[in-house]
Amino acid sequence: MDDFWVFGYGSLMWRPGFAHVETRKARLHGYRRALCVYSHVHRGSPDQPGLVLGLDRGGSCLGLAFRVPGDLHDEVVAYLRERELVTNVYLERRLVVRLEDGPPVAALAYVVDRAHPQYAGGIDVAHAAERVTGSVGQSGRNEDYVLNTIEHLKALGIRDHWLEAVAARVGARID
């Protein structure tokens, strides 16, 4: 089996959790990184849902593409499905991403299911910051998730102005 690519736009970028032989910056057109998924477990609760990242329609998203050896296909896909499809709020897709200084390649990606009850829709910066502030789940505070995401994106040289605006408001609210 041939090598394949996986596209990461959030925590997969700095904590992929699977073996790979190459990592490249890549851009996915037609989808954007957004806090568009209500979290009832990891970063929130049923009473106070937090927000986590999803790939939502529109715009483009700069992330990382990981090249995985073909002989690890079944193992890596099983791992990703266990990690990403817990509540089925994401849909597994093969989408074309353009590698930085390279060709377009098909990559496995997980996009938000807009019909799922956990889909938060297109919310503005103020509402996102309000929802994030004070939400806590099994994986910790939602504020930490957003602020750590921004720090990791900056370390990778990736700007996300909308998410940065949310993080700035979250930071101001918790100071």
Pick from 61, 36, 59: which is nearest to 49 by CA? 36
**Which one of the listed residues 84, 92, 130, 164 is annotated catalytic?**
84
Which residue type sits at 145?
Answer: Y
Which tokens sit at 67?
């090249």
For the chain, give percent helix, strand, coil, nearest 5: 30, 40, 30
CA–CA separation, 53 vs 167, rounded Å?
Answer: 13
22: annotated active-site residue: no
3-class state of residue 45 by DSSP: coil
Residue 165 CB partners (closer than 8 Å, separation 6+): 125
Q: Determine whether 43 is exposed, middle or buried from the number of CB atoms within 10 Å of its CB (0-12, 13-18, 19+).
A: buried
- List residues with catalytic annotation: 84
